[in-house]
């Protein structure tokens, strides 16, 4: 346990505690056996996630990494009787395992070059270090849902809402970012890899924000928001802002877990995930509505909430690296983030009620208490602890927070996004012209490309391999077996157990030897 591990230990432990208490109320109508299974999976996840955080080398981190993937599969598919949940669990498992192949290759290459699994880049040639870190980043792309390996995260919302808050908002998906933070000496020495991180993160932040705008399912909207925020963190890492990315990871865990738990409370009260079927819920659910607005404003980066401080540090890190285009992409994403979060809050809690249940109500104390605790973290985890956080993570570097023009631009874009969301809610601002684009985005072009590649390339390739296996490999083995059986059957006929035939065989053999000897002379 050191300055790098300590903040993550606090985040994982606190969020897991809040989610576990919340789950007691959320799953109270589930059968006792299913509840026991859920909390067993939950406890296993916490153990392996904390072991990942405290790993002293890449090998132990990889063990925790794979076990976290197992827990993700089990928890996403918790309602295994639903075909959609089973498919989502398998999709999450296979996409992340595909990416983990890169991580494993990077680990093996690191061991081959250095003889160990440590974080020290000393003695590693530049080209080999670049290859190692790029392979490690492939694993990060899968776990932290970076484009184009983000396709599993929205489908993972088929699991219970507390699972979404625990695995896919606050802790598990952040493991990829944490791996880069933990292995920062390796990544910091590989400039090419950092450039890849910068561009992949920026593109992910923007594309996922666009996808979040067109979602009607409140959980899928928050899932794409998670992809976008993870893109911010990866972009900051690519710009050299390790502490800024790590701080945003820590603050994001509080307000994103809060938003998911608030969404779960609303779903619990209305029995629907569709924001179009909600509306007017602030009056019967004032505390949930207030906490959702707090989380939405924190995610949008509104001062003085925690998201403001970490978002500003991310933008400053990209700006200091003189990365103009990625900075522009991230600034546009700031406005988009505020827009879709404001739009969701207004659609769900304001206006007239559109719920089939005419009597929505607040959830019980077991669900509300963790939400309040996370709400406090969303308010105070930024400004109060930013200095202490940097002294832990970067003890040899001085730090002081300076509000700059860039921060003012980011805040202005966030406020502009909220204003646009309000005008859209009131009907004074229409986005009908974006209909075709929104429909195209909604279909998930990357997801459909993967499905097409799976059906047209992978399955057909597998059919060819199956034919070769059946008729070439198996045919060769069967042919060898047939020859051996026929020769064995033929040789078996030589064993007749008749003495006269054996005598004739000996005489003929002796005669043949004599003739051979005579002719040989």
Q: What would the two tokens of residue 303 be?
A: 């001062």
> Token digits for 407?
């921060």
Q: Write out the two tokens for 362.
A: 């607040």
Over 60: is that where the pLDDT of 434 sits? no
Q: What is the 3-state secondary structure (H, E, C) of 257-309?
A: HHHHHHHHHHHHHHCCCEHHHCCCCCCCCHHHHHHHHHHHHHHHCCCCCHHHH
Query: What integer pLDDT is reported at residue 520 of this predicted model?
Result: 64
- Rounded distance, CA 165 to CA 172, Å? 10
What integer is the mean pLDDT of 291-307?
Answer: 91
For residue range 203-222, what is the model confidence (pLDDT) as tens digits? Answer: 999 988 888 888 888 888 89
pLDDT of residue 491: 78
pLDDT exceeds cutoff 50 at 433: no
Confidence bin at 169 (pLDDT 50/70/90): low
Average pLDDT over residues 50-67: 92
The pLDDT-based confidence of 397 (bands split at 50, 70, 90) is confident
Identify whether the C-beta of residue 165 lies closer than 8 Å to the C-beta of residue 222: no
Report residue 150 as tokens.
């983000």
Q: Looking at residues 122-151, what average pLDDT do you find?
A: 89
Output phi, psi for 321, to 5 deg: -80, 0
Spatial distance between the Cα atoms of 345 and 282, rounded to a whole number of angstroms: 10
CB-based burial, 467-498: b 16+ in 10 Å, e otherwise:
eeeeeeeeeeeeeeeeeeeeeeeeeeeeeeee
Residue 497 in this model has a pLDDT that exceeds 80? no
Element holding 452 (H helix, E strand): helix 445-453
What is the structure's pLDDT at 442? Answer: 53
Q: Which burial class, exposed, middle or buried, applies to 189 when counting CB atoms under 10 A from its CB (0-12, 13-18, 19+)?
A: middle
Instruction: Judge if pTM exceeds 0.85.
Output: no
The residue ranking higher by pLDDT, 111 or 450, is 111
Which position has the higher pLDDT, 162 or 430?
162
Q: With beta carbons less than 8 A apart as the criterion, state whether 383 and 293 touch.
A: no
Q: Which of 24-38, 95-109, 376-390, 402-416 has the highest mean pLDDT?
A: 95-109
Lookup result for tokens 């990357």: 446
**Higher-confidence position of 113 and 447:** 113
Across 67-71, 338-342, 354-358, 382-386, least confident range: 354-358
Whether residue 305 contacts residue 414, with contact meaning beta carbons closer than 8 Å, is answered with no
Lowest average pLDDT, out of 14-18, 191-195, 501-505, goes to 501-505
Q: Do the Cβ atoms of 91 and 155 come closer than 8 Å?
A: yes
Instruction: Check whether 495 has a pLDDT greater than 90.
Output: no
Residue percentage of the chain with pLDDT more than 90: 32
CA atoms of 215 and 192, how far apart (whole Å): 35
């Amino acid at each position: 346990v050191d300055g790098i591990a300590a903040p993550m230990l606090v985040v994982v432990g606190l969020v897991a505690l809040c989610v576990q208490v919340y789950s007691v109320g959320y799953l109270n109508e589930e059968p006792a056996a299913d509840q026991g299974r859920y909390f067993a999976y939950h406890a296993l996840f916490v153990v392996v996630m904390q072991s990942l955080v405290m790993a002293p080398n890449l090998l132990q981190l990889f063990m925790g990494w794979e076990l976290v993937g197992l827990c993700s599969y089990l928890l996403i598919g918790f309602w295994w009787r639903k075909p959609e949940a089973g498919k989502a669990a398998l999709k999450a498992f296979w996409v992340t395992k595909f990416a983990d192949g890169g991580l494993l290759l990077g680990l093996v290459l690191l061991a081959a070059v250095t003889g160990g699994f440590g974080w020290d880049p000393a003695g590693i040639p530049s080209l080999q270090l670049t290859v190692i870190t790029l392979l490690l980043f492939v694993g990060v792309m899968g776990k932290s849902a970076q484009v184009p390996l983000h396709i599993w995260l929205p489908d993972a919302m088929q699991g219970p809402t507390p699972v979404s808050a625990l695995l896919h908002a606050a802790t598990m998906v952040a493991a990829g970012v944490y791996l880069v933070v933990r292995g920062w000496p390796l990544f910091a020495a590989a400039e090419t890899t950092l450039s890849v991180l910068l561009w992949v993160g920026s593109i992910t932040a923007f594309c996922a924000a666009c996808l979040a705008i067109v979602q009607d399912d409140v959980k899928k909207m928050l899932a794409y928001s998670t992809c976008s925020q993870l893109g911010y963190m990866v972009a900051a890492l690519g710009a050299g802002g390790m502490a800024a990315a790590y701080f945003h990871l820590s603050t994001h865990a509080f307000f994103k877990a809060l938003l998911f738990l608030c969404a779960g409370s609303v779903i619990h009260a209305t029995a629907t995930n569709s924001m179009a079927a909600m509306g007017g819920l602030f009056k019967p659910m004032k505390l949930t509505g207030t906490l959702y607005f707090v989380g939405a404003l924190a995610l949008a980066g509104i001062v003085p909430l925690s998201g403001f401080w970490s978002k500003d540090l991310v933008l400053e890190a990209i700006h200091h690296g003189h990365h103009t285009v990625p900075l522009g992409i991230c600034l546009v994403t700031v406005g988009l983030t505020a827009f879709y979060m404001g739009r969701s809050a207004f659609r769900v809690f304001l206006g007239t009620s559109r719920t089939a249940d005419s009597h929505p109500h607040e959830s019980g104390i077991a669900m509300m208490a963790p939400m309040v605790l996370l709400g406090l973290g969303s308010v105070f985890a930024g400004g109060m602890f930013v200095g202490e956080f940097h002294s832990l993570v970067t003890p040899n570097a001085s730090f002081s927070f300076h509000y700059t023009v860039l921060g003012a631009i980011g805040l202005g874009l966030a406020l502009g996004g909220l204003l646009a969301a309000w005008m859209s809610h009131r009907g004074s601002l229409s986005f009908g012209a974006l209909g075709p684009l929104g429909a195209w985005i909604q279909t998930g072009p990357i997801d459909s490309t993967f499905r097409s590649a799976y059906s047209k390339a992978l399955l057909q390739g597998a059919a060819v391999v199956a034919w070769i296996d059946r008729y070439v490999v198996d045919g060769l083995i069967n042919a060898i077996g047939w020859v051996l059986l026929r020769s064995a059957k033929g040789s078996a006929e030589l064993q007749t157990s008749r003495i006269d035939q054996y005598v004739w065989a000996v005489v003929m053999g002796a005669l043949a030897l004599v003739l051979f000897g005579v002719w040989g002379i």
